[in-house]
């Protein structure tokens, strides 16, 4: 393959990876935007969604296979992850909404550890493998470049979800209520908005999006392990910060940008004689530092005025 073909192939890989980051980053941004909480348990909800998808697909595989089984499994994972996110919000976060932010942050870390260690114990720390039955090699071939149908479907589904969420937040009454709560919860209560209900819906939507990302990762990578949520949680949080934490379009942009930086940057470093896989995180977080130096609020973030 020529260098140009290699870069183009890496751009496709970067879009896939960036789509996963963006879907998880959306949950970070939604929760932070509405209650100013860095929900560090979000990566573990992604992992839980992946395990739920694998488990449901395993039960259905004898009767329903292929994309039909995958779609049903992802829908089931969305329900399970959404319920988990809601329960975490209801019993761990809601009682502390009036407490200092540090208390919420420590609680989020605690919820993360509870989910992480529970899944680790249930799986005996062993990875599980997802056999979808799909043809991973079928696709479009342009010279030495291969774009599989699975890659095309993952990119299209991710794009539709992100556009759909933007329309939901921008044009529906529920979305407008969420944006209003992000500005002033007390005024929203006086206007008759059920603030706790809106916060619960926010957690459900964010968790469901993370579950979709986890299910799609099952299909694409073919394996699931208990610590998969840690890495993508850090990367998705980084993507949200790059785009502007609290900004929905920013989370999308940051996720896609981070995925492209990792894929193309790794290949470029390899071409220059470095070990691309070993230096990719140095490259990625180096770019993060540069962005935050020149754009402290992220690419699409806005400066906030603290009320005294």
Kindly report the CATH number assigned to the domain that includes residue 272: 1.10.3470
CA 183 to chain centre: 24
Note the pLDDT of residue 63. 82
Distance CA 202, CA 254 (A): 20
Picking from 10-14, 182-186, 286-290, which range would have the lowest pLDDT averaged per residue?
Answer: 286-290
Note the pLDDT of residue 304. 58
Residues 4-55 pLDDT 10s: 788 888 889 899 999 999 999 999 999 998 988 889 999 999 999 999 999 9
With 80 as the cut, is the pLDDT of residue 2 above it? Answer: no
User: Do 67 and 57 form a contact (C-beta atoms < 8 A)?
Assistant: no
Distance CA 171, CA 163 (A): 12
Domain that holds residue 225: 3-294
Distance CA 52, CA 210 (A): 12
Residue 252 lies in a domain: yes
Residue 299 lies in a domain: no
Note the pLDDT of residue 308. 43
With 70 as the cut, is the pLDDT of residue 305 above it? Answer: no
User: How confident is the model over 170-192, as a mean pLDDT?
Assistant: 92
Residue 305 lies in a domain: no
Residue 98 lies in a domain: yes
Note the pLDDT of residue 61. 79
Residue 68 lies in a domain: yes
Structural domain total, the chain: 1
With 60 as the cut, is the pLDDT of residue 134 above it? Answer: yes
Picking from 47-51, 125-129, 235-239, 279-283, which range would have the lowest pLDDT averaged per residue?
Answer: 279-283
Which residue do the tokens 């949680």 mark?
233
Note the pLDDT of residue 303. 63
Residue 302 lies in a domain: no
Note the pLDDT of residue 162. 93
Note the pLDDT of residue 264. 82
Residue 265 lies in a domain: yes
Sign of the C-alpha dihedral computed for residues 270, 275, 276 and 282 taken in this order: negative
Q: What is the pLDDT of the chain when averaged over all its residues?
A: 88
Which residues contact residue 164 at a Cβ distance below 8 angstroms, ignoring those fewer than 6 apart? Answer: none
Residue 303 lies in a domain: no
Higher per-residue confidence, 87 vs 279: 87
User: How confident is the model over 100-126, as a mean pLDDT?
Assistant: 93
Predicted model pTM: 0.92
Note the pLDDT of residue 275. 65
């Amino acid at each position: 393959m020529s260098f140009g073909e290699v870069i183009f192939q890496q751009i496709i890989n970067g879009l896939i990876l960036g789509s996963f980051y963006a879907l998880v980053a959306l949950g970070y941004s939604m929760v932070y935007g509405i209650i100013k909480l860095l929900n560090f348990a979000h990566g573990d909800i992604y992992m839980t969604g992946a395990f739920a998808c694998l488990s449901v697909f395993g039960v259905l595989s004898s009767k329903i296979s292929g994309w039909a089984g995958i779609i049903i499994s992802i829908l089931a994972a969305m329900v399970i992850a959404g319920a988990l996110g809601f329960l975490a919000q209801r019993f761990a976060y809601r009682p502390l909404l009036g407490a200092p932010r540090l208390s919420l942050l420590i609680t989020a870390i605690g919820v993360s550890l509870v989910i992480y260690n529970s899944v680790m114990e249930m799986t005996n720390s062993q990875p599980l493998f997802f056999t979808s039955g799909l043809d991973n090699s079928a696709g479009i071939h342009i010279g030495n470049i291969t774009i599989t149908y699975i890659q095309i479907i993952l990119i299209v589904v991710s794009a539709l979800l992100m556009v759909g969420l933007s329309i939901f937040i921008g044009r529906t009454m529920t979305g407008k209520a969420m944006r209003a709560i992000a500005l002033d919860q007390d005024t929203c209560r006086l206007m008759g908005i059920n603030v706790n209900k809106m916060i619960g819906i926010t957690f459900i939507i964010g968790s469901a999006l993370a579950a979709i990302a986890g299910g799609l990762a099952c299909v694409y990578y073919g394996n699931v392990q208990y610590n998969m949520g840690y890495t993508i949680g850090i990367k998705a949080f980084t993507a949200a910060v790059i785009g502007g934490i609290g900004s929905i379009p920013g989370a999308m942009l940051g996720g896609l940008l981070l995925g492209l930086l990792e894929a193309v940057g790794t290949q470029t470093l390899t071409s220059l004689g470095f070990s691309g896989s070993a230096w990719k995180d140095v490259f990625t977080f180096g770019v993060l530092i540069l962005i935050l130096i020149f754009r402290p609020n992220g690419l699409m973030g806005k400066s906030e005025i603290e009320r005294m």
